[in-house]
Amino acid sequence: MQISGDAHYLVLHTEAKVTDTRVEILDSFQASFENWDRGSRISPIWKLTDDGGTPPAPNLLKGEYSVLLLGPCNPAKLISEIDLKPTPDESVDIWVTTGLLNVVVLIKSEGASPKRERIISWVRAEQYGLEQWALSGGKIASEIDVSDPRVDKEQVQKSISELAQSPTLQKEPILKPTLMEYCSIMASAVSRSASMSPYFFDELCSFHSFVNRMCKEFESGESGLTALHMQSRLLNINAALSRFTSQTFSGVPPVLATECHFWTHSLLGTGSANMALAHIAKFAELRIGSWRIPERVSALASKKSDVPTYDELTSDTDIISNAGDVLGSAESLLSPEQHSQNISPIITYFSGRDGFSSLLQTLSAPLTTITGSNSHHSSLLTITHEISHIFVKGILTVIYPDMSCEEEINKSLEMLVDPTYQADNWLDAIKQLLVETILSMHSQKSTRKIRIEEFSTSEWAAVLKRWRHEVQEILVHTFDYLYFYGGEEDSIDFYVESIWQSWSSIPDIGGRVEEYLLRTLCAISPQVLSHDPSVRYESSKLAVEKSLNNLIGMDLPHGGYVENAKQLLLERWFHDEESKSIHKSFASRIGLVRLVQLFLYSSELSAELRGDWAVGAKDRDYGFKTGHYSQTAITNPIRFLTSVMKKKSSEAESLWVLHQIAFNCNPEQE
């Protein structure tokens, strides 16, 4: 069965008498507003047909109908296991939605309905969520049948109750309302997931254990966090949980009592889309998180043999090939405690305000990715950049001088001031490369000659603070390109075109085009690090120029940013004022690219991130036929998403992509 090209709209109207509820399926979004009432709610739905066509909407006012809302379920499984062929007395239509109840079965029958009974028995045997409506003249009968909870939530509810009574947190005036909010949201989330999704239930229990542990460490003083720091963390967690819960568990039984605040999906929510987003994040969380990169980098402090000199780090091209897999070899340096540490869970959600954004425990994607997940301009693949941010933030806590520690700031300054400084371990070598690059970036943009030996601690601290964000962005872009895009020459166009189409959908970034251009040049440059410096930078410039030309030739909406970037690249590649030269700015940042390539990249981890046993090591084609539902396994959602990317995509195709990731992907499967 194939998803229809155009959406219909399932609309529920609750009249002034709340027991009087009408249901209709409409051909257009606009038509829903003609009879809109205070209790009206809506969700787009797509019919599954043999040819992908879009037939007229059924008139629910005529005849008797049964509506079965079920999920989260791969519709291909339902179709393959239940005979849904129409009979003279009974017809069955299948629709798909973005909700956790992602399948809508519409049955019209004269008298008893054997197919309905078979479907209900099958749903209960498979333990899917279920809500049944009996329609007469388009109105729901007074009794609505819903599924029972599928898992025992008593233990986690007891834990939430105990946290709510925490005496230490209760006596902190600033924390008490925030903690109360957290407990309320989490209690609601676990209760709803208990009847609908064991996957989300387990994830929420894991996340609550993390929050509970964080609060206990705060109470004991082990965390070192102030009340304000705890307040900030809990506020961010509450915001993410609130959106996640509203989007994912709206439109679950009882549907009439759960409303989504994403208003075009106010009836059934976006739970299956949220499941796809969670699977992508979980895949990266497990694959990269299990490598414990920050811990490996920290452990390099004990690696004291053959420590590279600064000249080798910056000038000797042989070190690129001779250093070997530094990150991979650091595994043997980890302590048993570091090996056994829990990986911090992540809450994912969609946001019209935050767009692509990440904090230590939260990750968001724009709402527009629901309707354009596999199109370049709204690509869900951009989430890999935010995933990279999460891990790079952890790495920076190890290698970047702690701005609250004067001793660390002075030590980093000594690395620059002392011309004879030589790191005695590999971690300090990384730190030396980092601070030397920061000084290079600062000097290149300065209008006066920089004399580092004259810097005070506070002046150097100001420089470190100024450049931290830019350092992080370049490390993230390079990390993202190497791990998620393959870091090879044949992936440059795809990477550059993807990030610039994503950026071009952001309003008012005209003043930051130069920053984005420099990040692009750095990101695609690992492969030219071993080239002679006389051609290294020019190679990257030509590659980016070619990709920008490709974008311009596509005649897609870019807000003028792509043209501006190309103009900057060509007109200011060389400039009489060094601070305005793109070439000089790029060259001053190349040390950050070397840092990622040498110390944060492992070919072994890269292979894990890009491989998928379901299709083999080299095959890129999963054998999916766009829009057709199947049960073909996916173990690497990022690789699958890469394989189905298009310049332009439809809302129906985007939903199909999200459903494949939600229902055919097990991110925990090796």
Tokens 């339902």 found at: 78
> How far apart are alpha carbons 285 and 344 in whole angstroms?
8
Burial 350-374 (b: 16+ CB within 10 A, else e): bbeebbbbbbebbbbbbbbbbbbbb
The gap from C-alpha 418 to its chain's centroid, in whole angstroms, comes to 43
pLDDT value of residue 304: 95
> How far apart are alpha carbons 377 and 649 in whole angstroms?
9
pLDDT value of residue 621: 65
The pair of structure tokens assigned to 267 is 């009836």
φ and ψ at residue 271, rounded to 5 degrees: -55, -40
Q: Report CA dihedral (288, 294, 298, 304) to the nearest 10 degrees.
A: 40
pLDDT at 663 over 60: yes
Three-state DSSP at 540 gives helix
> How far apart are alpha carbons 420 and 588 in whole angstroms?
22
The pair of structure tokens assigned to 128 is 């899917």
Please tell me which residue, 376 or 411, carries the higher pLDDT value.
411
pLDDT value of residue 401: 97
Measure Cα distances from 418 to 413, 439, 453, 454, 465 in Å.
9, 14, 9, 12, 22
Tokens 């000089």 found at: 584
Contacts of 419 (CB under 8 A, 6+ apart): none
Long-range contacts of the stretch 597-600 (C-beta < 8 A, 24+): 597/320, 597/478, 597/482, 597/526, 597/529, 598/313, 598/319, 598/320, 598/323, 598/326, 599/297, 599/300, 599/326, 599/327, 599/426, 599/430, 600/293, 600/297, 600/327, 600/395, 600/475, 600/479
Decide: 296 and 327 in contact? Cβ < 8 Å: yes
pLDDT at 589 over 80: yes
Alpha helices in 491-560 (DSSP H): 492-503, 513-523, 533-554
pLDDT value of residue 635: 87
Nearest residue to 104 via CA among 29, 44, 172, 28: 44
Tokens 């890129």 found at: 620
The pair of structure tokens assigned to 668 is 């925990």
> How far apart are alpha carbons 438 and 433 in whole angstroms?
9
Decide: 103 and 73 in contact? Cβ < 8 Å: yes
Please tell me which residue, 56 or 616, carries the higher pLDDT value.
56
SS in 3 state form for 442-497?
HHHHCCCCCCHHHCCHHHHHHHHHHHHHHHHHHHHHHHHHHHHCCCCHHHHHHHHH
Decide: 212 and 163 in contact? Cβ < 8 Å: yes
Decide: 48 and 63 in contact? Cβ < 8 Å: no
With 0-12 / 13-18 / 19 or more C-beta atoms within 10 angstroms meaning exposed / middle / buried, residue 138 is middle
pLDDT at 523 over 90: yes
User: What's the CA angle centered on 84, arms 81 and 87, to 5 degrees?
Assistant: 145
> How far apart are alpha carbons 350 and 357 in whole angstroms?
10
> How far apart are alpha carbons 13 and 608 in whole angstroms?
49
Decide: 624 and 630 in contact? Cβ < 8 Å: yes
- Average pLDDT value for residue range 555-566: 78
- Average pLDDT value for residue range 308-331: 83
User: What's the CA angle centered on 489, arms 488 and 491, to 5 degrees?
Assistant: 70
The mean pLDDT of the chain is 90
* Residues paired with 132 in a beta bridge: 68, 145
By DSSP bridging, strand 21-26 and strand 64-71 are: unpaired
Decide: 370 and 378 in contact? Cβ < 8 Å: no
Decide: 452 and 416 in contact? Cβ < 8 Å: yes
pLDDT value of residue 210: 93
- Of 94-103, 426-435, 494-503, where does mean pLDDT reach its minimum? 494-503
Tens digits of residue pLDDT in 158-201: 999 999 998 888 888 889 999 999 999 999 999 999 988 999 99
With 0-12 / 13-18 / 19 or more C-beta atoms within 10 angstroms meaning exposed / middle / buried, residue 516 is buried
High-pLDDT (> 70) share of the chain, %: 96
Residue 224 pLDDT grade (very low, low, confident, very high; cuts 50, 70, 90) = confident
pLDDT value of residue 109: 82
> How far apart are alpha carbons 176 and 215 in whole angstroms?
12
Tokens 């969700």 found at: 43
Nearest residue to 384 via CA among 240, 502, 303: 502
Specify the DSSP element, H or E, that contains 362: strand 362-366
Tens digits of residue pLDDT in 618-629: 555 677 899 999
Residue 16 pLDDT grade (very low, low, confident, very high; cuts 50, 70, 90) = low
Tens digits of residue pLDDT in 73-119: 999 999 999 998 888 888 999 999 999 999 999 999 877 888 999 99
Residue 352 pLDDT grade (very low, low, confident, very high; cuts 50, 70, 90) = confident
Does the predicted model carry a pTM greater than 0.85?
Answer: yes
Decide: 658 and 271 in contact? Cβ < 8 Å: no
> How far apart are alpha carbons 119 and 106 in whole angstroms?
11
The pair of structure tokens assigned to 298 is 């920290």
pLDDT value of residue 17: 59
pLDDT at 409 over 70: yes
Residue 308 pLDDT grade (very low, low, confident, very high; cuts 50, 70, 90) = very high
Specify the DSSP element, H or E, that contains 394: helix 383-399
Tens digits of residue pLDDT in 104-157: 999 998 778 889 999 999 999 999 999 999 998 899 887 777 876 678 889 999
> How far apart are alpha carbons 149 and 204 in whole angstroms?
16
| Angle in degrees, 0-180, between the axes of helices 492-503 and 513-523, rounded to the nearest 10 | 160
pLDDT value of residue 76: 96
- Average pLDDT value for residue range 621-644: 88
- Average pLDDT value for residue range 221-235: 89
pLDDT at 213 over 70: yes
> How far apart are alpha carbons 647 and 504 in whole angstroms?
14
Contacts of 322 (CB under 8 A, 6+ apart): none
pLDDT value of residue 472: 98
Residue 557 pLDDT grade (very low, low, confident, very high; cuts 50, 70, 90) = low
